[in-house]
């Protein structure tokens, strides 16, 4: 699914925010229920929230997958509030 509302740079911003303000849990960071992790070289990153997963790929490509539309709506509101606050 392509999301035309949030852009790649927004997801990268949130990823960085979670890594700087979040709590490290093993190989990932968690902040306000959103988890961020990356592969060993950093070319692929993931943001997860409940049943939603956003895969950030090289060359500004990303993929958004979720089971429930409500989860996406919750995530969208949470992310926009984080962007607005910072």
Q: What is the DSSP string of 10-33?
A: HHHHHHHHHHHHSEEETTEEEETT
Q: Residue ranges per domain, the chain?
A: 8-77
pLDDT digits (tens, 9 = 90+) for 17-46: 999 999 999 999 999 999 999 998 888 999
In angstroms, how far is CA 22 from the centroid of its own chain?
Answer: 13
- Sheet of 34-38: strand order equals 23-25, 28-31, 34-38, 45-49, 52-57, 61-65
- The per-residue pLDDT for 83 is 86
- The per-residue pLDDT for 78 is 93
**pTM for the whole structure:** 0.88
- The per-residue pLDDT for 2 is 39
Question: Left (φ > 0), alpha (ψ -120 to 50) or beta: where does 57 sit?
Answer: beta
């Amino acid at each position: 699914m392509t999301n035309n509302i949030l852009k790649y740079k927004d997801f990268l911003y949130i990823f960085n925010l979670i890594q700087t303000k979040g709590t490290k849990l093993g190989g990932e960071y968690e902040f306000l229920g959103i988890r961020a992790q990356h592969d060993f070289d950093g070319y692929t990153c993931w943001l997860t929230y409940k049943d939603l997963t956003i895969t950030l790929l090289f060359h500004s490509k990303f993929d958004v997958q979720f089971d429930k539309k409500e989860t996406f709506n919750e995530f969208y509101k949470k992310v926009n509030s984080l962007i607005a606050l910072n």
